[in-house]
Amino acid sequence: MRRFDSRRQDENETIPDFEQALRTLHREAWPAATPDQRDATLKRRFEVGTDFHRNDTVLHARDLDFHATVIKARQFADATSQSRAKKRVNFIDTRQKSPAQPEWEPLLQGFKKMMAEALQPLQRALRSQPQCNAPRPAASTPPQSRPATPRLNPPPRGAWQNQQPRNAQGFR
């Protein structure tokens, strides 16, 4: 909440970036806010946090919601040429490219080298195992190392062995 309330537009920050930062901070601070509460809070913070807050006629309009206020700020920035350019860093590749070697060839060579290094322990392990061509025992025979499972609950003594035979009507 404190980060949201103290958030201001940075010197090199564009209006869309500032808008997104406010939305993210608001979502973190008040995840259960209603849409009306969210809109009013975001609009107030946007009006105060931009450089346009000095010019009261630019953004302060009671009938506008947050989205309309952001659009109005973008229009004002474009009209007054106050939009800020985003600083960018461009990486320039100064390596010489040989015409015979495609651009993806170094990637392929690196991938092959990485795979060879990763598979070496597996290949060594496979080579060290004895080659055995004998057929494996059938799955139906139990392995010798595992004991037969004991009967956990034997039937009670005389439960059905000592019963009297039933007659034709089903009585004893």
Q: What b/e sequence results for 118-130 when a residue is b if at least 16 CB atoms lie within 10 Å of its CB, and e otherwise?
A: eeeeeeeeeeeee
Residue 95 lies in a domain: no
* CA nearest to 73, candidates 17, 15, 18, 24: 15
Domain range for 7: 2-79
pLDDT given at position 111: 92
pTM for this predicted structure: 0.44
Q: DSSP secondary-structure letter at 40?
A: H
Residue 64 lies in a domain: yes
Residue 69 lies in a domain: yes
- Domain count within the chain: 1
Give me the CATH number covering residue 68: 1.10.1200
Residue type, 60: H
Over residues 74-99, the mean pLDDT reads: 72
Q: 3: which residues sit within 8 A by CB, 6+ positions away?
A: 25, 28, 29
Residue 122 lies in a domain: no
Select the more confidently predicted residue: 131 or 5.
5
49 close to 9: Cβ distance less than 8 angstroms? yes
Burial class (CB within 10 angstroms; exposed 0-12, middle 13-18, buried 19+) of 107: exposed
73 close to 50: Cβ distance less than 8 angstroms? yes
Could you read off the pLDDT of 19-73 as tens digits, one per residue?
A: 889 899 999 889 898 988 888 888 888 888 886 655 555 556 667 888 888 888 8
Rounded distance, CA 113 to CA 118, Å?
9
Residue 97 lies in a domain: no
Residue 114 lies in a domain: no
Residue 130 lies in a domain: no
